[in-house]
Chains A and B, each alone.
Chain A
Amino acid sequence: MTSVGSHPTETGRRDVVLAAREVAKHFPIKEGVLQRVAGHVKAVDGVSFEIRRGQTLGLVGESGCGKTTLGRVVAGLSEPTAGAVLFDIDSETLAAYDGGSSVGDIETAHKVDALTGDAYRRFRRNCQMVFQDSFASLNPRHLTIDIVGRPLRVHKEASGSGLTERVVELLEQVGLGRQHLYRYPHQFSGGQRQRISIARALALDPELIVLDEPTSALDVSVQAQILNLLHELQQANDLTYLFITHDLGVVRHMADHIVVMYLGTVAESGPTSAIFENQHHPYTKALLGASPDVDAAEEFTGLEGSVPDPAHPPQGCRFHTRCPVATARCGWEVDDVVRWIEDEPGAAGRLAGVKRDSAFAAELAFDDAATAAVVVDAIRSGRIHASMPEAVLKAESRDSRVDVEFGAVPDVELSVRGPGHVAACVHESLLDL
């Protein structure tokens, strides 16, 4: 270990370094001159997980699903809108918290955005972060020695020649050296810059490092080097990682546990081996780009369509707009019909208005009766989606209007699929696909 001096407050070495409980982060959408709040981007919408000491949690999902937002909340850079991030807590206490006992006391002692004074400082030094963009994360006007030495200065751990020696030590740990002390960030390659970021994150000898796509901006060959480095450092320094990536392959060999996120929520989560053996969510399958059964693999080789707007996430299962095996119970709603109309050459532009009673029931007004009839037919015949006729309670046209109503479906909950393995999907026989 490279630590100099002792921590002001030694951590208790509790087994759960960090736990997220129903964490949400909603960004207000402001509109107009008066900057009225017109809605919220639900970037993260109720995510729970825990990271055990010395382990790596892989947080995986497509662009825009809220990984960075969640990582920033975890690292204490932004406050959650709801839910709690608990730091350095033992399993029993966490179980008590989940059971609802002494919630207040536990939050005072462990909830990141409630920590103050020494406890906050202890969290601050023990939770570091490495960002994707190595250029943006290093001040272009600072020399390597300033960048890597800064945490030591801030926490008054070293100064003068002691500081220089500590920085050299840190640089050597990440494969750089004394000759790099007095260089500016732009004088390094992307991989080297990422090494500097890692050295800075290591400086305070932290317990947890949030790695936000630390390699995705790098060349493939350099990626492997950095991944190896991270792995070695984890072994040597007893580090715990939250590893954020959009590429399941990257974390396959690093993560002990994987959380797959879709549109701000957890689609599936479980031990890495379990996830790679059996995906219980079509989205995970799609991310893997492979299914155990080659014949059925066809429909899983890629993801079609775009990620829906996180300000208006789909009902039921958030993935139902893109799911290749969606069923009648997956949350079909008015928006699905409206989206189809907007893309349908015969109907696009003829929709005059939508009067909603709920997400599941509305009156659609069209320019003419013919279009209304076409839409009703599309809903009933399964042209919009094969499972829609089964889900629809009412689809009737009155002149140029259409009354449509679907059975209301609650948000699909996570259910247990194995030890520590959960998935949010209502499909009965996904494993047979």
Chain B
Amino acid sequence: MVDIPHKLPAVAPSTESALRVRLRRVRELSASVLANPTTVLGFVLIVAMISMAVFAPLITEANTPDPYQMPRDWGALNEPPGTDGFLLGTTNTGGDVFYGVVWGARTSLRLSLIVVGITVLVGVLVGSVAGFRGGKFDEILMRLVDVFLSIPELIFALAIAAVLGPSFGNIILALAVVFWVKYARIMRAQVLHVKANEYVDSARIIGDSGWNIYRRDVFPNAITPIIVQATMDMGHIVLVGATLSFIGLAEAGLAEWGVLVSEGQAGISAGRWWASTFPGLMVFLWALAFNLVGDGLRDVLDPRTETAR
């Protein structure tokens, strides 16, 4: 490397500003995320499914009084897909599969947003304090993490949900209790890693406060793996949630994909494939979509590839 100060593309200094440079950077990053076709596919799927969740009441009329309960038509049991009024058929209790698919998206979005929101918040907070401050708090946390990690997450969530009793709210609670530990651990490791960089020492040398150093140096450089993990978990949690619903830990009759799969499975041997297949496919697509985008984000946000550009 030869030291040539003016080799870089010259930009008119008067029009340049920090805001412009940052916006350009965001544009560049988005462009490189969207340069990957599988990421785009995942992104399109996510937008479609979230739109479905958001506009559910416009797509199919909300059931009353509780729109998250499946509407039942006892006069139309086991109708195949395409039957008049039942685009995707009905279940053996007269539930409209299409309604379940659409409102199930809403249930899934609610589940994943709440669980990821809570766990990321708690995990980042706890992991940051542990990593940045160290000391006793850190030691206690690491013991707790060891305990949590020694139990498979699905079994753990299952146990909690089973103890609390069958309800979808309890599934949300159980998943939140189980999943924050992962974020705490990632964040702690990241904070320790970032803290060892000399730019943190440089900030201490100029006399900046601990909070400013956390806010300006540590957090922004530590958070990207959390973003990637959270994206993946938006999908993963719906899968786990559906599994717990499937084995009966949600209220019966809930418009939720796992519940629907469970309801429809008895009919599969009798050739009534649709009641399980459509909601099952939705779970798969949901998990796949977030996974694809998470993967794409990881490649782009990886600081090594980032600085190489």
A interface residues (Cβ-Cβ under 8 A, vs B): 72, 75-77, 121, 124-125, 127-129, 131, 133, 136-143, 145-146, 150-151, 154-155, 175-184, 186-187, 189-192, 197, 200, 203-204, 219, 221-222, 225
A191 touches B1 (CB 8 A): yes
Residue from B4, B18, B207 in contact with A145 in the complex, judged by beta carbons closer than 8 Å = B18
* CB pair A141 B220 closer than 8 Å: yes
Q: How far is the CA of A131 from the CA of B199 in the complex (A)?
A: 9
**Complex contact B199–A139 (CB within 8 A):** yes
Interface residues on B, range: 35 or more
Q: Collect the chain B residues with CB atoms within 8 Å of residue A178's CB.
A: 13
Report the 4 A-B pairs with minimum CB-CB distance, sorted nearest first: A191-B3, A137-B198, A151-B206, A124-B207
Query: In the complex, what distance in Å separates the CA atom of A146 from the CA atom of B3?
Result: 22
Bound-complex Cα distance A176 to B8 (A): 12
Bound-complex Cα distance A183 to B22 (A)? 10
B residues within 8 A CB of A155?
206-207
Mark each residue of chain B from 185 to 208: 1 if its CB lies under 8 Å from any CB of chain A, else 0: 000000000000111011111111
A215 to B18, CA, bound (A): 30
Residues on B lying within 8 angstroms of A by beta carbon are 1-6, 8, 10-11, 13, 16-18, 20-21, 25, 197-199, 201-208, 212, 216-217, 220-221, 303, 306-307, 309
A180 contact set on B, CB distance < 8 A: 5
Partner of A136, one of B17, B20, B197, B207: B197
- Given contact pairs A150-B203, A178-B13, A186-B307, a sample of 17 additional A-B residue pairs in the complex whose CB atoms are under 8 Å apart: A75-B205, A77-B204, A121-B207, A129-B202, A131-B201, A136-B197, A136-B198, A139-B217, A145-B18, A154-B207, A177-B5, A182-B11, A182-B16, A182-B20, A197-B202, A221-B2, A221-B3
A121 to B17, CA, bound (A): 32
Whether the pair B202, A181 counts as a contact (CB closer than 8 A) is no
Question: Binding site of B, secondary structure by majority: helix, strand, loop or mixed?
Answer: helix
Closest-CB distance, B243 to chain A (whole angstroms): 34
Asked if residues B8 and A187 are in contact (CB atoms below 8 Å), the reply is yes
Question: Could you list 15 examples of A-B contacts with CB < 8 Å?
Answer: A124-B206, A128-B206, A131-B198, A136-B197, A137-B198, A137-B201, A137-B202, A175-B5, A181-B13, A181-B16, A182-B16, A183-B21, A184-B21, A192-B5, A219-B1
Nearest-CB distance from B135 to chain A (Å)? 12
Given contacts A77-B201, A140-B303, contact A182 B18 (CB under 8 A): yes
Beta-carbon nearest neighbor of A128 in chain B: B205
Complex CA distance for A143 and B203, rounded to whole angstroms: 14
Find B206's partner among A131, A140, A146, A154 (CB 8 Å cutoff): A154
Whether B202 pairs with A179 at a CB distance below 8 angstroms is: no
Q: Report the Cα distance A138→B198, complex, angstroms.
A: 7
Q: Are A179 and B2 in contact (CB under 8 A)?
A: no
Pairwise interchain contact B13-A189, C-beta atoms closer than 8 A: no
Contact among A125, A129, A181, A225 for B3, CB-based, below 8 A: A225
Let me know if A136 and B199 touch, CB within 8 A: yes
CB-nearest residue of chain A relative to B25? A184
A62 to B309: give the CA distance in the assembly, Å: 35
User: Closest CB of chain B to A53's CB: distance in Å?
Assistant: 20
Tell me the bound Cα distance from A422 to B59 in angstroms.
88
Complex Cα–Cα for A142 and B197 (A): 14
Contact between A189 and B207, CB atoms less than 8 A apart: no
**What's the nearest-Cβ distance from chain A to residue B203, in Å?**
7
